[in-house]
């Protein structure tokens, strides 16, 4: 009986370590995404994604009504590349909540976004990732935006 309990505990701890290492790998993709974003490195951003990434944002329009907007990933990359060198921006993540199940993962990352050092808006990013033979790749990003 002692051997059975030991075997069960060993199996459970191995599963927990494996799940944690997957969460760490997903987190690393998100960290690399924002490093490339801040460096305006569109080549690195493309390497972190898979296929035709869907980008969406939830926020208020000029009349204050909630709206969902979508943007092609290519337009996002073009916008990043066009940011002038003297334009300072930073998206600061304030946490990571990561879940994995096999080859699917979700990363929920609250953030504050700064322009020229001033807080512009806050919200949450939700990343959907797919595990390929080359590792975790981003397939979908949606965020919320709250003006302060």
What is the DSSP-derived secondary structure letter of residue 75? H
Q: What is the mean pLDDT of the chain?
A: 90
pLDDT tier at 108 (50, 70, 90 boundaries)? very high
pLDDT at 33: 98
Per residue in 43-69, pLDDT (tens digit) is 999 999 998 899 999 999 989 999 999
Provide mean pLDDT across the span 105-130.
Answer: 97
Provide mean pLDDT across the span 92-115.
Answer: 97
pLDDT at 16: 44
What is the DSSP-derived secondary structure letter of residue 82? T
Instruction: Give the number of other Cβ atoms within 10 Å of residue 2's Cβ.
Output: 6
Q: How far is CA 37 from CA 15, 32, 118, 126, 130, in A?
A: 33, 8, 18, 16, 20
Provide mean pLDDT across the span 75-97.
Answer: 95
Per residue in 133-145, pLDDT (tens digit) is 999 999 999 999 9
The model's pTM is 0.84
Q: In this model, does residue 17 exceed pLDDT 50?
A: no
All domains of the chain in start order, with CATH: 22-147 (3.10.450.50)
Q: State residue 13 phi and psi, 5-degree precision.
A: -70, -35
Q: How far is CA 104 from CA 39, 40, 95, 99, 148, in A?
A: 27, 27, 20, 8, 33
What is the DSSP-derived secondary structure letter of residue 39? T
pLDDT at 19: 56
Provide mean pLDDT across the span 11-36.
Answer: 80
Q: String of b and e for 77-86 (b: at least 16 CB within 10 Å)? A: beebeeeeee
pLDDT tier at 20 (50, 70, 90 boundaries)? confident
């Amino acid at each position: 009986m002692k051997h059975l309990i030991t075997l069960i505990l060993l199996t459970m701890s191995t599963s927990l370590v494996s799940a944690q290492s997957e969460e760490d790998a997903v987190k690393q993709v998100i960290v690399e995404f924002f490093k490339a974003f801040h460096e305006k490195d569109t080549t690195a951003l493309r390497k972190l994604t898979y296929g035709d990434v869907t980008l969406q944002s939830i926020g208020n329009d000029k009349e204050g009504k909630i709206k969902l907007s979508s943007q092609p990933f290519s337009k996002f990359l073009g916008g990043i590349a066009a940011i002038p060198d003297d334009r300072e921006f930073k998206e600061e993540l304030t946490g990571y909540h990561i879940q994995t199940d096999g080859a699917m993962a979700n990363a929920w990352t609250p953030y504050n976004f700064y322009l020229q050092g001033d807080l512009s808006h806050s919200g949450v990013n939700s990343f959907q990732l797919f595990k390929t033979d080359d590792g975790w790749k981003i397939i979908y990003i949606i965020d919320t935006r709250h003006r302060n």
